[in-house]
Structures are given as C-alpha cells and as structure tokens.
Amino acid sequence: MSRSVTSAANTDSASGRLQALGLALPELRDNPYYVHHRTVGSSIHISGQLPYKDGWLMGQGIVGREVELETAREFARHAALNCLAAAVQAVGDLDRVRIVQMLVFVASAPDFGLQSKVADAASELLLEVLGENGRLARTAIGVAGLPLNSPVEIQMVCTAV
C-alpha cells in the first residue's frame, strides 16, 4: 500500500505538519543584548521576533502604505515561525510547545485598521502546525514604527506540555 506525501511526513506530529507545509524552523542568531526566551515558572516568554529569513529582514515599511496586506501577512507567518524556533530552544521539541498568548505589532498607517488580518496569518500557521496547542489568546496592535523599520513584530508567551 502506498502512502501519501502528507502521511509520509508524519502529520501526527507538529514537526511532521511543519515539514508537510514545506517549512523548517530557522536558526536564531544570538544577540548580545537579549535572549530569545526566558522561562519564569511554567511560562516561557518569547522575545519579540521580526520576520528574519536566512539572517535577513524580509522587508521594511509601513503596512497600508509601502507594504501590502498580503505581504504583511507573509511577514507575520515568518515572525511566528521564528517565535516557534525560540520556543523549541526553550522546551526542546516542537510537540511540547503550547502557545498561551501572542502579541502582534503591525507598523501601520493610521487609517489601516486591518491589524487583525495580519495577525490572522500568524494564528493560522500556529494552528496548522500545533493544532489545539496553537490556539491562543491574542492581541493585534497598530504602532507607528518597529525596530529596523520592520512591518511586523511578534511576541509570545507559551508553556511546555
């Protein structure tokens, strides 16, 4: 009996679902000024993550002005992927990660108003990869600017299961 590509990717695990999506957790570069995660009791606080890919910021600008909604959504997905990488550093295995809360900061024009649509892309990725462990409390906030003129930054609180 032949197995489909999806079942061959072991979709019963978060790692398998990530692989089935054609994604991999990025390697996070060390920073001399902060750590990517800090554990306090049972909570793991993930530092704000920008949409870095292969060491490069994927884009810059203000959403609703220089950055289109769909592009911002892709940036949010990648920032969430970076958050997952930090969570795995903390707990050792993607299947042990449960997201508690996500804060999505969107550098946006004053009249943009679709910050939640940007955040939805990150939420969708977390649900696709983690299943119920990716269902979370969430806040999406429009801000005037973010570090390095990034359009999106995501901060999380998670726990190990």
Q: Average pLDDT of 69-93?
A: 97
Task: Using the CB atoms, write b or e for 112-150: b if 16+ within 10 Å.
Answer: bebbebbbbbbbebbbbbbeebbebebebebeeebeeeb
The pLDDT tens digits for 7-59 are 334 578 999 999 999 999 999 999 999 999 999 999 999 999 999 999 999 99
Full-model pTM:
0.91
pLDDT score of 8: 35
pLDDT at 6 exceeding the cut of 50: no
Q: Average pLDDT of 72-92?
A: 97
State the total domains in the chain. 1
Task: Read off the pLDDT band of 79 (50, 70, 90).
Answer: very high
60 compared with 6, residue with greater pLDDT: 60
The pLDDT tens digits for 51-64 are 999 999 999 999 99
CA gap 132, 99 in Å, rounded? 9
**H or E element at residue 106:** strand 97-107
Residue 148's domain spans which residues?
Answer: 5-160
Identify the weakest region by mean pLDDT among 2-11, 18-27, 118-127. 2-11
Q: What is the CATH number of the domain that holds 81?
A: 3.30.1330.40
Q: Are 47 and 147 in contact (CB under 8 A)?
A: no
Q: DSSP assignment, residue 86? A: H
